[in-house]
Structure 1
Amino acid sequence: MDFTNKVVIVTGASSGIGASSAILFAKYGAQLTLVGRDENRLGIVAKQCLQANGLQPLCILIDLTGKGACETVITKTIDTYKQIDVLVNCAGKMLIASLFDDTTDVFDELIDINLRVPYKLTHLAVPHLVKTKGNIVNVNTTRNSRVRHGFLAFAITKAGLERFTKSAAVELSTEGVRINSVQPGLTRTNILKNLAMTEEEVKKTYDALSSKMNILEADEVANMVVFMASEACPNLNGAHFGIDGGQTLI
């Protein structure tokens, strides 16, 4: 795989799957726009990318749900590189709430970052992707038939992202632009730590799940993201690749 002279935008690039994907893209020669909210961690990822290919990434420290934020990402990328070849929508959030709680704010927050932001960034990037015959990779979550208490709002956003990917593939294929999604299972990232859970509860969650399946490392998922964005399978479009350590089997 070769991304030399390709421009790749990675959201959620300051940690987890986004960070691992950015570093791997850099190893394959990509010029990068790294988007995140944690300045220190984003700087560390940028340094690793620079060490990988000698190219200084464009770092954009921003809350993507803010007014004009998505426009800023696209505008700064074009101003810097003059093109966009790949958009990786990796930024996302998981929050636990029940219908019996006052969940309106939680629902709106998850809709904003998990669904509205990927849609808007894709919409804004499309004119540039048409020029380069580029593609989009959405980082979703595993298709698990098990329904878990408290994950209603999160599940709705992720189901919406899957449908968005499929529907967008139909529209964009006429212009030579591909869009696919990778659907990882439980991965060792900061996402569980960002929940309203104690360290002991997080550990119990990992222990309970790891007895039944493998927990993924972010680098594994990054391999899939970069593969889907590459020209290895030029007709891969509207696909959803699950990588979950067998989670859907239990």
Structure 2
Amino acid sequence: MRGADVITVQRRKNEDFECITADFSNTEEPESIIAEVIESKGRLDVLVNNAGMMMEAPVEEMSIEDWQSNLNVNLTAPFLMIRAALPYLRKTTGNIINTGPVEGIAANPHHAAYCATKAGIHGLTRSVAVDHGREGIRCNAVAPGWIDTELNQDFIDNSSDPDLFRRDIGRIHPVGRTGTPEEVAALVAFLAAEESGFITGQLYTVDGGRTTQLSLP
């Protein structure tokens, strides 16, 4: 898929790629997004579901409104994007790549809604792979760990001791550092390519070994 036309979908305009602005909390957006892509390009080969949100709160302190907001963006929106895309992916024997971070298989404190929705992404991935494999449609998931995104960098910069935080976050990874967006993108590009044509229904963890390493006693 190298050289593919890339269209991003997000709340703010993306100056690096062709972009559609949308709000994934609106359940009517996915169908119109796919329709706009088809009108512009005439086909759809790969769908990457990467949108997400997080609200921190223990279960007892999370409102039903906040729970539903997490569900809408993190799980319902990908479901609706897949549903809208399937008729066009069927024509191109295309494939789907979902982002379901490591908190879909493990948990940090006060992330009940986030963890639940990301675990749902993993289940959705397997189900779509099973249901649509015979149509030539593949579906896989990528589970990033701590990646040096702008959001995470801002989180570190706003901590009480950013240098200590960076040192500590590196130590919990066997590779001794956090990951880069380019490393995650490389795996997504591979899963989108024909070379991965016999891979479907799989979850690939990209976390520098963090979830593999046992804590010290």
Q: Same fold (TM over 0.5)?
A: yes
Of 148, 155, 161, the match for 1:188:
148
Segments of 5+ residues of structure 1 without an aligned counterpart are 4-27, 47-56
Q: For the residues of structure 2 that align with 1:60 and 1:98, how far apart are their CA atoms?
A: 34
How many matched pairs?
Answer: 209
Comparing 214-223 with 145-154, greater Cα deviation is found at 145-154
Displacement of 1:66: 1.6
| Aligned twin of 2:181 | 218
TM-score by length of 1: 0.77
Aligned alpha-carbon RMSD (Å): 2.1
> Is structure 2 residue 204 aligned with structure 1 residue 241?
yes
Output the TM-score relative to the length of structure 2: 0.88
Instruction: Show the counterpart of 2:97.
Output: 137
Matched, 1:178 2:138: yes
1:55-94 to 2 correspondence within 5 Å? 57=18, 59-94=19-54
Whether contact under 8 Å (2:102, 2:205) holds in the other structure is: yes
Does the CA-based 8 Å contact 2:103-2:118 persist in structure 1? Answer: no
SS of aligned partner of 1:155:
helix
Structure 2 match to 1:232? 195
Q: Are the counterparts in 2 of residues 86 and 129 from structure 1 also a CA contact under 8 Å?
A: yes
CA contact (8 A) 1:110 1:153 kept: yes
Q: For the Cα contact (< 8 Å) 1:143–1:242, is it kept in 2?
A: no
Cα deviation for residue 169 of structure 1 reads 0.6
Shift of 1:100: 2.7
Contact 2:104 2:119 in 1 (8 A): no
Structure 1 residues 89 and 100: CA distance shift in structure 2, 3 A: same
Instruction: Quote the sequence identity (%).
Output: 29
| 2:7 counterpart letter in structure 1 | T
Deviation at 1:106, TM superposition (A): 2.2
Structure 2 SS opposite 1:247: coil
Would the alpha carbon gap of residues 239 and 103 (structure 1) be closer, same or farther in structure 2, given more than 3 Å must change?
same
Deviation of 1:202 after TM superposition, in Å, equals: 8.3
